[in-house]
């Protein structure tokens, strides 16, 4: 077995146990916080962060939809402006950055819904603007690597491109491609 196969197998094994270990770690932290501030207060705090997460998901969902619509309009405007002056400086975040920002905010809200203080800390970290921008750029780059492009070309299309031409149906071509015995009749 090669070193690369060993590494892949080890990564799969760790990946399979990660949710279990994360859950155990969440319980340990919850018990520690419960002992420090009281069990009832720890439950209330966990429920409050879940409610905040639901509110944040709703807000981010509306913002993501609004950003998507505005980004589509801005992308058309920017493309038109760039054809006139491609070296003109862009003001403000690009449409892609706004969509990524809304997506990471939605991800933070989703993570906040899960009960646990470690996931809450991770979600709150995702809400910090510099972290949100960096994670958004990484998620966008990962999406570009894995999603196929509309033309089917690109790194994720997963195949060779075969150039071709569509030929409309033609009665003459159909006669030529038919069986020779049928043509004679």
- How many separate domains does the chain show? 1
Are 100 and 136 in contact by the 8 Å Cβ rule? The answer is: yes
Tokens read off for 104:
């990471």
Which H helix or E strand runs over 96?
Answer: helix 95-113
Predicted pLDDT at 26: 92
Predicted pLDDT at 41: 94
Domain for residue 52, yes or no?
yes
Counting Cβ atoms within 10 Å, is residue 116 exposed (0-12), middle (13-18) or buried (19+)? buried
Domain for residue 140, yes or no?
yes
Domain for residue 167, yes or no?
no
pLDDT above 90: residue 103: no
Predicted pLDDT at 180: 58
Are 137 and 100 in contact by the 8 Å Cβ rule? The answer is: yes
42-63 residue pLDDT tens: 999 989 988 888 888 788 777 7
Mean pLDDT of the chain: 77
Mean local confidence (pLDDT), 99-120? 85
Distances (CA, A) of 6 to 1, 13, 34: 7, 11, 41
Are 44 and 132 in contact by the 8 Å Cβ rule? The answer is: no
pLDDT above 90: residue 170: no
Domain for residue 165, yes or no?
no
Domain for residue 164, yes or no?
no
Q: Tokens 């570009």 — which residue?
A: 144
Predicted pLDDT at 40: 93
Under the phi-then-psi rule, with left for phi > 0, alpha for psi from -120 to 50, and beta for the rest, what region is 38? Answer: left
Domain for residue 20, yes or no?
yes
For residues 128 and 94, the model is more confident at 128
Predicted pLDDT at 140: 79
């Amino acid at each position: 077995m090669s070193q690369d196969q060993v590494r892949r197998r080890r990564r799969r094994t760790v990946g399979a146990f990660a949710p279990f270990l994360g859950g155990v770690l969440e319980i340990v932290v919850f018990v520690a916080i419960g002992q420090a501030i009281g069990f009832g207060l720890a439950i209330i705090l966990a429920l409050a962060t879940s409610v905040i997460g639901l509110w944040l998901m709703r807000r981010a969902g509306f913002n993501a939809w609004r950003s998507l619509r505005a980004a589509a309009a801005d992308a058309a405007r920017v493309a038109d402006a760039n054809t006139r002056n491609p070296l003109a400086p862009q003001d403000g975040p690009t449409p892609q950055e706004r969509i990524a920002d809304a997506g990471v905010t939605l991800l933070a809200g989703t993570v906040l819904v899960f009960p646990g203080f470690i996931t809450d800390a991770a979600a709150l970290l995702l809400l910090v603007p510099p972290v949100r921008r960096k994670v958004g750029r990484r998620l966008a780059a990962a999406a570009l690597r894995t999603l196929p492009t509309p033309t089917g070309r690109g790194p994720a299309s997963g195949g060779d491109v075969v150039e071709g031409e569509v030929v409309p149906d033609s009665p003459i071509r159909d006669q030529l491609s038919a069986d020779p015995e049928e043509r004679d009749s």
